[in-house]
Amino acid sequence: MVTLGHYLIVSGILFAIGFAGVMLRRSLIIIFMSLELMLNAANLSLVAFSRFHVQPSGVPDYNAQVFVFFIITVGAAEVAVGLAIIVALFRARQTTHVEDINTLKF
């Protein structure tokens, strides 16, 4: 029997993997993908909540699913903007490595 706990554990593992990616990888593209992974981890937990929060009438709670749609939309928009920024950055610096992008310094 798969319970809510299993879903949440998977979701947490995904989120942790995403966070570790963001923290540890050097390539901006990979970091970006890890970010998406974190978003999807959140989506997974929301969908799981929706599925397991069933009302007395037998209908699942759709509020969480609406959230998921919002996140997907925002994620899509983010990809569009983020990739554009990465392309622009690459054009300016000929690199997508975060170590080389350190002008946010005193």
Partner 1 sequence: MKSALPWYALLLPLVSAGAITLFTRRLKTLSSLISVAAVLGSFVCSCLIFGQKGLSAPELKWIDFGTVFTVPFGFVLDDLSRMMLVLVSGIGALIHIYSLGYMRDDEGKSRYFAALSLFMFAMLGIVLANNFVMLFIFWELVAFTSYVLIGHWFERDAAADAANKAFFTNRIGDFGFMLGILLVWMSTRSVVFADIAPRLSILTSHPAFLTIAALLIFCGAVGKSAQFPLHVWLPDAMEGPTPISALIHAATMVAAGVYMLVRVGFIIQASPSALLVIAWIGTISALLAALIATQQSDIKRILAYSTISQLGYMMIAVGLASNEAAIFHLFTHAFFKALLFLGAGSIIIMLRHEQNIWKMGGLARHLPITFLTFVVGALALIGFPLFSGFFSKDTILALAYDHNMPIFVVALFTAFLTAFYILRLVVVVFFAKPRSDAARASDESPLVMTGPLIVLALLAWLGGYGFFARHFLAIPHEKELLLIVPVLAITAMILGAGLAIALYRNRTSEPIEVDLLRRLFYIDEFYRWLLDWTQELLASISAFFDRWIIDAGAVRGVSGGTWGIGALLRLIQMGNLQAYAFLFGLGIVALIYFAVFR
Residue 25 DSSP code = -
Say if residue 10 is exposed, middle or buried (CB neighbours under 10 Å; 0-12, 13-18, 19+).
middle
Site string for partner 1, 28-57 (x = CB under 8 A): ---x--------------------------
Determine how many CB atoms are found less than 10 A away from the CB of residue 8: 16
Question: Does residue 102 belong to the site contacting partner 1 (CB under 8 A)?
Answer: yes
What is the nearest approach in angstroms of partner 1 to the Cβ of residue 57?
A: 31
For binding to partner 1 (CB under 8 A), which residues are involved? 19, 22-24, 31, 98-99, 101-106
